């Protein structure tokens, strides 16, 4: 008697674990279509185990896209996405997002965006988490409503514990006086220790890499926050010339920093990229910075993306760069900002294939964005009221 588990003719039935093994290899756009195949697949694709598995699998595969915030804080949120093939796609915001006042993207991590916005003038600003690929939005509970000082925010995902967290540092009179951490898993805030931050100021624009958030700090320091351990650490910057402009970025999944000493007009010194390597072991001395150089680089280097660097500059001030911008400037319709200044994002690879890909407005922010179907709630998904 032959024991046959497989159907000889036709298509055999594939068990769920195999379907998951196939689907985790598919980019998000196709994955969203797969949700419409049948109810079983729809549930599978939303399950936390599938999402975690997919994230782990694609962690090294995906080149992140670039998410660009085109508007300044006062207008409604205008975002566009530039994928690895340099195609630009404008976001259709759900109505909930479009009606926000003073919205600003804080950060993007593993598919979720953290957005701050003005709610009836309360301070600090309100927050929400949004996955543009699925459309789901989650409003973050408020804690303090009438803070008179300044808040620095950080948002990130830690793969090891599979948690999204938001960090809020309260600064009053140039001093940190409170730090709260929100965890998506518990949907609540809690206060954390911040002894190391005494006497240190943090600056906006956080970078998250490898389960750690980083900010520029005063006293030539970089402040880091370990998402899993919920601890702050201070990291001295490498020794660089004074008055250097430094921008934190990510290079090959490590913290990196551009330092440049040129003004837009002079362009004398090439920006240097410093990459931080953490040594294994507890000793902080094991940490080292290595320098990387790019040829034909320009000041105003913004971030590393794929195998190139993005430069962001004002084309009117640096007319000689027009020839690198190419066809985009020949278009008849340009959005010209106040004073007739046109701002351009230029990408230069190591071999200097300068490509202009995107016209951006003023007050822009650029984030690495990985599209994913991550839910804004690990237990149930919430739909925006539209």
Partner 1 sequence: MASSSKTITVVSSDGDEFEMTMKAAEQSKLITHMLDEFGVSDKVPLYNVNSETMAKVMEYCKKHADHEAAKEEDGGAAIGAGGEEELKKWDDEFLKVENGLLFNIILAANYLEIKSLLDSSCQAVADMIKGKTPEQIREIFNIKNDFTPEEEAKLRSENEWAFQED
Residues forming the site for partner 1 (CB under 8 A): 2-6, 8-14, 17-19, 21-23, 25-30, 32-42, 89, 92, 134-135
One-character DSSP codes across 310-374: EEEEETTT-GGGHHHHGGGGGSS-----GGG--EEEEEEETT---EEEEEE-SS-EEEEE-----
Q: Where are the alpha helices (DSSP H) in the chain?
A: 16-23, 28-34, 39-46, 48-58, 95-98, 322-325
Residue keyed to tokens 């936390």? 48
Contact call for residues 367 and 107 (beta carbons, < 8 A): yes
Closest approach of partner 1 to the CB of residue 118, in Å: 28
CB of 58 to partner 1, least distance (A): 11
Query: Is 28 or 51 the residue whose CB approaches partner 1 more closely?
Result: 28
Residue 14 or 74 with smaller CB distance to partner 1: 14
Least distance between partner 1 and beta carbon 41 (Å): 8
Beta-bridge partner residues of 308: 305, 349
Closest to 233 measured CA to CA, from 219, 223, 241, 242:
223
CA 89 to each of CA 17, 20, 77, 81, 282: distance values in angstroms, whole numbers, following the listed order:
33, 28, 15, 5, 44
Residue among 131 and 301 whose Cβ is closer to partner 1: 131
| Residue 370 beta carbon to partner 1: minimum distance, rounded to whole angstroms | 16
Closer to partner 1 at the Cβ: 132 or 299? Answer: 132
Nearer to partner 1, 49 or 283 (CB): 49
Kindly report the backbone phi and psi dihedral angles of residue 158, in degrees, each rounded to the nearest multiple of 5, phi listed first: -110, 120
Contact 314, 264 (CB under 8 A): yes
Nearest CB to partner 1, comparing residues 45 and 179: 45
**Which residues are CB-contacts of 285 (< 8 A; sequence separation ≥ 6)?**
279
Q: How far is the CB of 382 from partner 1 (least distance, A)?
A: 14
- Minimum Å gap between C-beta 29 and partner 1 is 5
Cα(82)–Cα(73) distance, integer angstroms: 21
CB 3, min distance to partner 1, A: 4
């Amino acid at each position: 008697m032959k024991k046959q588990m497989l159907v000889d003719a036709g298509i055999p039935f594939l068990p769920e674990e195999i379907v998951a093994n196939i689907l985790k290899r598919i980019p998000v756009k196709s994955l969203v279509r797969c949700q419409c195949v049948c109810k079983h697949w729809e549930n599978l694709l939303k399950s936390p185990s599938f999402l975690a598995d997919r994230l782990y699998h694609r962690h090294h595969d995906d080149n992140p896209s670039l998410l660009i915030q085109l508007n300044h804080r006062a207008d409604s949120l205008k975002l566009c996405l530039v994928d690895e093939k340099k195609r630009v796609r404008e976001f259709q915001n759900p109505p909930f997002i479009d009606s926000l006042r003073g919205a600003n993207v804080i950060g993007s991590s593993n598919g979720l965006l953290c957005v701050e916005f003005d709610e009836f003038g309360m301070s600090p600003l309100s927050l929400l988490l949004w996955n543009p690929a699925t459309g789901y939005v989650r409003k973050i509970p408020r804690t303090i409503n009438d803070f008179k000082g300044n808040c620095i925010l950080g948002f990130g995902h830690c793969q090891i514990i599979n948690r999204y967290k938001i960090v809020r540092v309260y600064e009053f009179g140039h001093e940190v006086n409170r730090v709260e951490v929100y965890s998506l898993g518990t949907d609540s805030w809690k206060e954390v220790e911040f002894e190391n931050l005494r006497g240190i100021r943090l600056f906006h624009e956080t970078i998250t890499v490898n389960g750690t958030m980083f900010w520029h700090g005063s006293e030539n320091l970089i402040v880091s926050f370990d998402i899993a351990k919920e601890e702050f650490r201070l990291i001295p910057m490498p020794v660089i010339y004074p008055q250097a402009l430094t921008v934190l970025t990510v290079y090959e999944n490590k913290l990196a920093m551009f330092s440049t000493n040129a003004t837009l007009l002079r362009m004398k010194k090439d920006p240097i990229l410093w990459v931080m390597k953490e040594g294994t072991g507890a000793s902080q001395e094991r940490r080292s910075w290595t320098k990387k150089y790019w040829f034909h680089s320009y000041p105003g280097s913004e971030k590393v993306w794929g195998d190139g660097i993005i430069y962001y500059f004002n084309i009117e001030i640096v007319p000689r760069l027009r020839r690198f911008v190419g066809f985009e400037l020949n278009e008849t319709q340009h959005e010209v900002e106040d004073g007739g200044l046109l701002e351009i994002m230029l990408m230069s690879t190591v071999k200097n294939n300068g490509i202009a890909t995107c016209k951006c407005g003023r007050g822009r922010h650029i984030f690495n964005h990985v599209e994913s179907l991550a839910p804004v709630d690990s237990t149930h998904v919430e739909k925006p009221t539209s």
